[in-house]
Amino acid sequence: MTPHSVSVSVPARLHLGFLDLNGELGRKFGSIGLAISGLRTRITVARASQSQISGPESERARRYVGRLQAALGLSGAHRVQIDEAIPSHAGLGSGTQLALALAAGIRPLHGLPLDIRGDAVRLGRGARSGIGIGLFISGGVVVDGGRGAATGAAPIVSRIPFPEAWRILLVLDRSRTGVHGEDESAAFARLPPFPAEHAARICRLVLMQALPALIEADLVSFGAAIKEMQALLGAYFAPLQGGHPFASPSVAGALELLEGQGALGIGQSSWGPTGFAFVHSRDDAERLIDFARKHPRCQGLDIRACKGLNHGAEIDADAVAAMP
């Protein structure tokens, strides 16, 4: 018995930074990130007599569906309705989460078990960071161990719940997009070797400060670790972002204002332009958002609060058997 349709909802994610862009130990990249509320991709997939894909990101979805069907040898057509989509090329994991949502929706229709990590590789996701794959599965805060010579999808080496009381401030600049696709590959190729001492410092910050602080709900220590690692990475990527550690000067200005009002751990998610900061509570978030929205330097930006989500994708297959 196979379901008639499958609905999948998967949250956006923040990429808080790479661990080791040096790679001298045989593994490269590695990263830390978390799942967040408020922005998500939500799709429904069903078998159909002819292919039909509708909603935002339809063309991107069409490519993923075709690639998955070819890789798994699946026959027949599918109807895909995309009701919501994470903003693309904003540093929020839109491509990986859409690809994995489609795979998780299509597999049950053919009586196949889920294979999140395998499908990520089949669909060309997780080439550098593995956190999108880990967060699709579990949510929370995850750390991946980077890529070695024989790595398919980077292994998840840590998963810790995000404190329920904390809030994340998102600063989105809808007028800009982050580096992506072939431009991203070319950008990495132009960068000089990452200093080994900086990679060592970032790994120490994550293992000996950020992760213990999460467990102890110590936002001051957590925020300090994230800010320092973001500063090291921002300086490294600055030549590709107009000499600035942030892709959007407007986002950088807003984060500076928020930090001055008590926000912690400011940074940019992946290539941006989305920026983030952390606060202790919902009341703190509401106060800072009200302040920012009234400030002239924040005009034109989308500033909002969200929670960390301690669950991964939600997959709902209906109980109606497909007709023969």
Mean pLDDT split into 10-residue runs, the chain, 324 residues = 92 97 95 98 96 96 96 95 96 96 97 95 91 97 94 94 98 84 77 95 98 98 98 94 92 96 97 96 97 92 97 82 34
Of the CA atoms within 13 Å of residue 298, those in its CB half-sphere come to 20
Same domain, 13 and 156: yes
Instruction: Kindly state whether residues 143 and 176 are assigned to the same domain.
Output: no
CATH number, domain with residue 300:
3.30.70.890
* pLDDT score, position 323: 30
Pair 120, 142 in one domain: yes
Same domain membership, residue 197 and residue 245? yes
Tokens of 167: 């809030």
What string of DSSP letters covers 186-213? HHHHHSPPPPHHHHHHHHHHIIIIIHHH
CA angle 168/257/225 to nearest 5° reads 50
Look at the chain and report how many structural domains it folds into: 2
Residues 70 and 215 in one domain: no
The pLDDT value given to residue 117: 95
- DSSP-based three-state secondary structure for 123: coil
Same domain, 120 and 262: no
218 and 183 assigned to the same domain: yes
Q: Give the model's pLDDT for residue 180.
A: 67
Same domain, 10 and 125: yes
Say whether both 172 and 33 belong to one domain.
no
Residues 31 and 121 in one domain: yes
Residue 323 lies in a domain: no
pLDDT at 320: 39
121: in domain: yes
What integer pLDDT is reported at residue 322 of this predicted model?
A: 37
pTM for the full predicted model? 0.93
Query: What is each CA distance from 292 to 63, 220, 252, 259, in whole angstroms?
Result: 39, 21, 13, 11
Q: Are residues 148 and 297 in the same domain?
A: no
Q: What is the pLDDT of residue 222?
A: 98
DSSP string computed for 67-114: HHHHHHT--SEEEEEEEE-PPTTSSS-HHHHHHHHHHHHHHHHTTPPP
Count CA within 13 A, CB hemisphere, residue 306: 23
322 part of a folded domain: no
Rounded CA-CA distance 4/30 in Å is 39
Structural domain that includes position 31? 5-162+310-317
- Take residue 179 and report the two structure tokens written for it: 């580096």
- Count the neighbouring beta carbons within 10 Å of the beta carbon of residue 316: 12
Q: Is residue 71 domain-shared with residue 178, that is, in the same domain?
A: no
Residue 125 DSSP label: -
Q: Provide the sign of the torsion angle of the four alpha carbons 221, 140, 289, 277, taken in this order.
A: positive
